[in-house]
Structure 1
């Protein structure tokens, strides 16, 4: 693949702005793109309030500027315009890429002041109402390029915000396929020990997601209860993810597990910093989000790890999971349908399950690699930077 930055002198400097670098799809994409920018000969700068992924960002060769870009306080947002504008001038930034709404407004104002291109990626859901929220979210379609992370997201952007078609680009989120293939056995063993998984675990279902209601943990617990009622008790359900301050919801999940007498089969295991090992120790991965996932990174990561997946039949996951071939799609918010799919996976022999996992790996590698995502995004950057650097009156 040709390097879209090769013709530039001086090398381009790209500023990405994201609320934090803790965990999540936007954060992972930010770090992946920073690595790709550096590899292409550019300079990668990220402004955020910080988080556990900063160390990885720095290791990738990028620079981190810590500031409160996550804040929705109008005074702080105004100050962030000044901070970002100074950062753009000091670092000679050629393009600003915002990945969330609150920092998007400050980044837009700073980019316009500096007369550099402004790009956005719509990682989140596209809200149709109320009107004030639609306006607040509209910053995500004010870029010179508006990147949607799935066809579903792009269709919703068109329907709600109606930007010029030439500014919309669909770039599916990319996954580092190799990172999820065959982790070292000792890593898997260490995670099994940490989570207390023994030889009696049965079919292991992994539901990895931060603990928030729309990710559907309550649906997974209800489905596990139905499996038990049907006499299918040889399974373990692992709910892996941070509460991120949602202590009441975490408490609700624990109560649901206790009330269903599932303590021996369903566990909240907290944040996982080795997802490749987590996928490897599982037999099937669940993503039963109650609301539509704009893309659904979990489903693609699991397929890259050669694991069958069961997902909600909505949003971006409709595009990434091939029904009956790489996994199963079930109606959102339907514990019975989820339990049916889980029972199908639990009833498969090892060869059938492996064949489904292999088909998923091929699907992820063909359509959702991090290389494809980064290459497409770098090309968008290069086109806009080239236009902005060109002498007046020349293309």
Structure 2
């Protein structure tokens, strides 16, 4: 799809460290540039900024991650000035706190406003529901899964025509097993200190070190497996604690107390996730809170790896039980121990068969190109409605 050279997109995202919203912002910015438009991203910044600039997009650095009302007002003024200066065509917010400033700036300048619901935001009070609803007050809401769309409609009661589902996309040029060299896998093996023990099944839990990712459930499940006499597995927690030192220390203590230092390891942030998935034999996503989409369930499938995931949220759409992986009750350590044991016992042949099925399905449904094309079409729809 091509865009008019005058088309300018301004995305507003708290930061560019890691995560699905951040990756989607970069993907869409690149798509706009490739289609002939201009892409701006207002953000605090972060480790992904270099890639944003390399793709031809421009950074507008400001503290949009804040929830301080006075700073938010300042952000609104800065964004309004940026919109006028750059003749922005559409403002696209990807988080609630910056959405307030972005919406105010868009309304002040008469600019169309789009928001992506990247998560299922729970509301325990009317005030919190009002806070969450900022994402629905513009021209269009993009939901990253049907699960998320159903939640938005039920929670906010808005016109169904105003909410579209556009699943997150996976970069299949990056997550392509044929493009990952053996040296990259070996480098990661060496960095993580993993001996090449073919008898042990390597299991990867990708994602930030936060409680909702279910690490403690897996530690308990691993303890159950070891108590049953199993020594044929190695579980790797690959993710950044993003300053949550207390939780990472809690995990390390739990691993030590359970006597699992040889079976469960915290390996930290990983810059080469494609190689990490190839180093692993299967991936797990034991989230205790429903993921709205769960890109981490799709990426390993793109790499030909089967997945065990919690049976709730968006993963019930991205993982087909018994076909591309297995769905397990969240937080049930006993059920997770059984699922992991079953996956190990299936053997590499059966896992490869399921991994191939997952790879084929992921490429059909979750390409970044499809996500970008659908998003650019949504922008066109908004602009035409405004005209």
Q: What secondary structure does 1:179 align onto?
A: coil
Q: Does 1:354 align with 2:352?
A: yes
Question: Matched residues in 2 for 1:106 and 1:196: separation?
Answer: 46
Unaligned runs of 5+ residues in structure 1 are 391-395
Partner of 2:190: 193
Question: 2:213–2:288: 8 Å Cα contact kept in structure 1?
Answer: yes
Partner of 1:393: none
Question: Matched residues in 1 for 2:349 and 2:339: separation?
Answer: 18
Q: What secondary structure does 1:343 align onto?
A: helix
Question: Matched residues in 2 for 1:42 and 1:227: separation?
Answer: 54
Deviates more, 1:179-188 or 1:324-333: 179-188
Write out the 4+ residue segments of structure 1 that deviate beyond 3 Å after TM superposition.
none
Q: What secondary structure does 1:27 align onto?
A: helix
Partner of 2:217: 219
Partner of 1:378: 376
Question: Matched residues in 2 for 1:27 and 1:316: separation?
Answer: 18
Question: Matched residues in 1 for 2:128 and 2:210: separation?
Answer: 20
Question: Matched residues in 2 for 1:12 and 1:293: separation?
Answer: 33
Deviates more, 1:222-231 or 1:27-36: 222-231
Number of residue pairs matched by the alignment: 384
| TM-score under structure 2 length normalisation | 0.97
Matched ranges for 1:325-364 at <5 A: 325-364=323-362
Question: 1:313–1:331: 8 Å Cα contact kept in structure 2?
Answer: yes
Deviation at 1:4, TM superposition (A): 5.1
Question: Matched residues in 2 for 1:151 and 1:104: separation?
Answer: 22
Matched ranges for 1:27-46 at <5 A: 27-46=22-41
Question: 1:71–1:77: 8 Å Cα contact kept in structure 2?
Answer: yes
Question: 1:48–1:67: 8 Å Cα contact kept in structure 2?
Answer: yes
Unaligned runs of 5+ residues in structure 2 are none
| TM-score under structure 1 length normalisation | 0.95
Q: Does 1:282 align with 2:287?
A: no
Q: Does 1:17 align with 2:15?
A: no
Question: 2:79–2:102: 8 Å Cα contact kept in structure 1?
Answer: yes
Q: What secondary structure does 1:205 align onto?
A: strand
Deviation at 1:363, TM superposition (A): 1.2
Q: Does 1:127 align with 2:122?
A: yes
Partner of 1:60: 55
Residues 208-235 of structure 1, C-alpha deviation per residue, up to 9 Å, x if partnerless? 1101101111111111111111111111
Question: 2:95–2:118: 8 Å Cα contact kept in structure 1?
Answer: yes
Question: 1:4–1:382: 8 Å Cα contact kept in structure 2?
Answer: no
Partner of 1:209: 207
Q: What secondary structure does 1:220 align onto?
A: helix
Question: 2:2–2:36: 8 Å Cα contact kept in structure 1?
Answer: no
Residues 330-367 of structure 1, C-alpha deviation per residue, up to 9 Å, x if partnerless? 00101111111111111122221110110110111011
Question: Matched residues in 1 for 2:2 and 2:134: separation?
Answer: 27
Residues 108-154 of structure 1, C-alpha deviation per residue, up to 9 Å, x if partnerless? 00011111110000001231322211111111111201000011111
Q: What secondary structure does 2:174 align onto?
A: helix
Question: Matched residues in 2 for 1:249 and 1:339: separation?
Answer: 22
Question: Matched residues in 2 for 1:86 and 1:215: separation?
Answer: 39
